[in-house]
Amino acid sequence: MMEVSKQGKSVYVQVGIWLNEDTGHIHLTVPETDYFHTTINANEGSARCHKNLYAKLGRFLRENGAPAPDPSLTPDYVVRADSTP
C-alpha cells in the first residue's frame, strides 16, 4: 500500500526488484500500478544504463539471497579489507 509522508513530499511504496539472468538487466516494478515497470543495466551507451543504481540494486538483491549480478559488475560495493560494514 502506498503511503504519503507526513510532510507530503515523499511516497513510500512496495516495489518488486529482480534480475533477468539472461539479459543481466535488473527489473524494478511497483505492483500497485499498471504502468511502473522499468529496467536498469550497466551497459555504456544504453538508455537504461545507470551504473550507480545498478550497483546498489545488485547489492540489495545479493544481500537478500536473490539472484544478483556478478559482484565484479558492481564495483562500488566490492567489500574491502579496510572497510567497515
Full-model pTM: 0.81
Q: One digit per residue, pLDDT tens: the chain, 85 residues?
A: 889 999 999 999 999 999 999 999 999 999 999 999 999 999 999 999 999 999 999 999 999 999 999 988 776 655 555 555 4
Q: Which helix (H) or strand (E) holds 40?
A: strand 37-40
Torsion angles phi and psi, residue 38, rounded to 5: -135, 170
The pLDDT value recorded for residue 80 is: 54
Q: Is 36 in contact with 29 (CB distance < 8 Å)?
A: yes
CB burial class (10 A; 0-12, 13-18, 19+) of residue 62? middle
Domain boundaries, the chain: 3-71
